[in-house]
Amino acid sequence: MRHVRRKTVVGAIVGVVLVALPLPIGPAHAGTLAKGTIAYASNRDGNSEIYIMNADGSNPTRLTNSPSADSFPVLSPDGKRILWHTNRDGNFEIYGMNADGSDPVRLTNAPGADTNADWSPNGKSIAFSSERDGNTEIYVMDADGSNQTRLTNSPGADRNPDWSPNGKRLLFNTDRHGVGNVEIYVMGADGSDQTRLTDSAGNDTSPAWSPNGKRIAFDTNRDGNFEIYIMDAEGMNPVRIPGTPRNEEDPVWSPNGKHIAFHSTRTPTVQLYVMNADGSDQTLISDRGTQNFGPDWSFHHPAALRP
């Protein structure tokens, strides 16, 4: 039910140097933001670690501490647990932990990379991408890591699963129509009825259901650089959100559907922004001096952020 979705390759984010553009800086924008917590990855302490902060950008708190790349966290529907992927064991695997960073548990153990995890709305299942069978496919497992089951079987790479709010369908992106042409698909939660939603010459990725299930946010380079678009749940009426000449990626809805968080290369380092769902009032909420990316948004306030 996300919240978002996500790129797997952290190396593509770290090290980008671009010309900064003047923009509002949080947390001064807090009065108009939806309340809640944003989980994200940051290299502010050297390597990529998992952090959480208030939705206005205040009180950033580190949750993981390892020499590996920990990235793309996802808060559980009740706000008590966080999924993320990490290569601390060699290749990328899915881990879970309490929302205060305690009790990290490895959930997958496969020869290929397991990434892009997402909770089902009831918190009982987890969808994720895996390379364990040669190419990248969508899998689902129980919340404790048991009963790992493959849902897709295509010659392309299927990534970035995102549960619908009612738990009956999954969005994902795939290049099954050819390398360099990534499109967004939807399927039943059991892998049935796989249906193409987008058809563009570019790469349409990181789909995210709106909380009411009526709209889908995604990023695409169909117009050159990556920009955020919103379309109807059936794939109709795609609308480009006004951005910058830089890349805007990984959109995630606020739980009330009024705002969208994303990361952008519009500053010298990759940063997190929040905007209204119509694209207005785009505001920087993270630290300009470090790389911050891969947001997820929850109304719950984990113990790590409570006074």
Task: Give pLDDT tens digits for 207-260.
Answer: 999 999 999 999 999 988 999 999 999 999 999 998 778 899 999 999 999 999
CB 219 within 8 A of CB 228: yes
236, with CB counted inside 10 A (0-12, 13-18, 19+), is: exposed
- 115-128 average pLDDT score: 98
Q: What does the pLDDT read at residue 249?
A: 95
What does pLDDT average to over the chain?
88
Instruction: Select from 10, 185, 184, 168 the least CA-distant residue to 84.
Output: 10
Question: What does pTM read for this prediction?
Answer: 0.89
- Residue 25 is classified by DSSP as B
**Candidate from 24-28, 137-141, 177-181, 253-257 with smallest mean pLDDT:** 24-28
Task: Give pLDDT tens digits for 3-51.
Answer: 334 443 333 333 322 223 333 434 434 334 557 999 999 998 889 999 9
Q: Which residue has the higher pLDDT, 179 or 181?
A: 181
Tokens matching residue 143: 């919340």
pLDDT above 50 (res 111): yes
Task: Give pLDDT tens digits for 85-103.
Answer: 999 989 999 999 999 999 9
Q: What does the pLDDT read at residue 46?
A: 86
Q: What does the pLDDT read at residue 245?
A: 83
Instruction: Select from 56, 55, 30, 28 the least CA-distant residue to 255.
Output: 55
d(CA 27, CA 115): 31
Tell me the sheet residues that pair with 25.
284
- 111-126 average pLDDT score: 97
Domains of the chain: 30-305 (2.120.10.30)
d(CA 123, CA 77): 6
Q: What does the pLDDT read at residue 301?
A: 63
CB 208 within 8 A of CB 201: no
35, with CB counted inside 10 A (0-12, 13-18, 19+), is: middle
Number of Cβ atoms within 10 Å of the Cβ of 232: 13
d(CA 118, CA 84): 9
d(CA 201, CA 182): 9
For residue 145, which amino acid is it?
G
CB 84 within 8 A of CB 67: no
Tokens matching residue 253: 């809805």
Number of Cβ atoms within 10 Å of the Cβ of 88: 17
What percentage of the chain reaches a pLDDT higher than 70?
87
Task: Give pLDDT tens digits for 186-208.
Answer: 999 999 999 999 999 899 999 99
